[in-house]
Amino acid sequence: MKKNDLPIVYSCSGCSSAAQTANMIAIKMDREKLAEMSCIAGVGGDVKPLVRTAKSGRDIIAIDGCSLSCCKSSLARHEVQPKHHLVLSDFDVPKINGKDPDSKTYISAYKRIFELINDHF
């Protein structure tokens, strides 16, 4: 599959354990060539090439660490709706400030998300 055929994945990258878990999941999807990760900060910051990527028409996966949904909100600023919006608190990933992600929780959430998304692509 060509890179441009892959969905784009965006993730929250805040300071909590849930945010960093979202980032780790998106990176893993990128490295395994399940999706191409792009920069949500650039979309939220109106960086033109990154906004163009978001608006390219490719399927989008947005992974937020918590219900604040910063990733989804950054896309919405540019009228971009993700095909999949995943909130890690729905996957039993706790949001703990000042704590690194738990590896077991990360792997469990990744597997559940992979199964869910794989059924739709």
Listed by start position, the domains of the chain span 3-111
Distance CA 66, CA 54 (A): 21
pLDDT band at 5 (very low <50, low <70, confident <90, very high): confident
pLDDT band at 1 (very low <50, low <70, confident <90, very high): low
Q: Which of 15, 21, 12, 29 is nearest to 101 (CA)?
A: 21
Per-residue pLDDT, 119: 73
Query: What residue spans of 3-119 are helical by DSSP H?
Result: 17-31, 40-44, 48-54, 70-76, 103-118
pLDDT digits (tens, 9 = 90+) for 17-66: 999 999 999 999 999 999 999 999 999 999 999 999 999 999 999 999 99
